[in-house]
Amino acid sequence: LAWLVVALALAGPATAQIPVDSLLQVFQQKINHVIATLTPEEYPASTALDHATDRYVWQHNGGWTSGFFPGMLWYMANHTNNQTLFDIAAAYTRGRAVEANDTSTHDVGFMVFLSFGLGATLGGRGDYNPIILEAAGSLAKRYSPVVGMTRSWGAIDDMKSFEVIIDNLINLELLLWSANQPGGQSVWRDMAISHTNKTAEWWIRPDGSTFHLVVFDPVDGSVISRSGTPQGYSVNSTWARGQGWGIYGFTMVHRYTGNPAYIDAAERLVEYYFKNAPSDGVPLWDFNAPPSQPYRDTSAAAIVASALIELDGVAPGRGHLQQAEHILTSLSTSYLGGGASEAVLVQNHHDCGSDLCTVIETDYYFLEALLRYKQATGQ
């Protein structure tokens, strides 16, 4: 495939020297600082400049990103096998239980599965299963058999429009994992598969780029509009993090279903990503951003790097590990926050207003990518 040749040329040989252990130590130091400064009810969301210290510090809220920091704690506890860290992860997870019965948002997946779900899978907390299943039931209530998808935005009873964003692919893991558990419902798996198939059908453009938002008619399931990128630059542009959600989401659903069509979908998006990203593999916040907005987006790069490592495991010999190495090398050499930030990575300007600010999902997926890379390469 021509795109594979291009991608491999970009990535270079699989000889990257990524200082994984050193970076994991940096993560541990910065996580320790958060634990010392924020209570278990305060969830890091994004950094902002503290003028007193001239340093970017974590701002906290209980919104859709509140599952990411508990998830990071479970990853580090599992990696270090440190019982104190397991206990701290449980403390930060506990507060997300209130989201399990929230039927007002698809983000119940982000909030509950990245906290309680990782506690169950990485921390061995079988006692979390009832909360996870409750959250899956809440997300399932946002599913429409007419549309064949779970609703992202809007009230469940809105009969004028049914809005779905590509981010919603990630929340499907809540349904897929829960369907396999005692007390889970097999229909949740069917819902997730239908949603994924619809995403492949309606979100991917012929060139492998993606829409962010598609709006359906909730009455008959027809498409009202598939030309929306509200978090990107323009209606028909390609939001970089949305492209990353697509690559990650299709790869993740393949893990649960084994359907090769999802690998094909992910690789179409990967092809577009590398054809249109700068040479270091870290994209602008939107692939169609104008010269006046040359902001890089390390969140998209970290999401894609993590997905590529998993993709390499199920589609070997296609250069995906080298692609991931290329991105991780760039992130670890040119985008670290150092002493100027409480975050590990920086450059989420479009999200929080500065090249030195960070959103929490950036660090979460960078940590996940490093741990996946360490396992994949036997380091």
25's CB contacts (< 8 A; 6+ apart) are: none
Q: Are 74 and 122 in contact (CB under 8 A)?
A: yes
End-to-end CA distance of the chain: 31
Active site residue 220: no
Q: What angle do CA 121, 153, 221 make, to 5 degrees?
A: 105
Q: How many CB atoms lie within 10 A of CB 145?
A: 11
Catalytic residue among 54, 102, 167, 217: 167
d(CA 66, CA 95): 9
Q: Give per-residue burial for 352-374: e unless 16+ CB within 10 Å, then b.
A: bebebbbbbbbbbbbbbbbbbbb
371's CB contacts (< 8 A; 6+ apart) are: 24, 75, 79
d(CA 188, CA 181): 11
Rg (CA), the chain: 20
Catalytic residue among 50, 54, 107, 190: 107
Of 267, 251, 243, the C-alpha closest to 6 is 267
Active site residue 107: yes
Q: Are 271 and 7 in contact (CB under 8 A)?
A: yes
322's CB contacts (< 8 A; 6+ apart) are: 7, 8, 11, 12, 13, 14, 16
What letter represents residue 136's amino acid? A
By annotation, the residues acting in catalysis are 107, 167
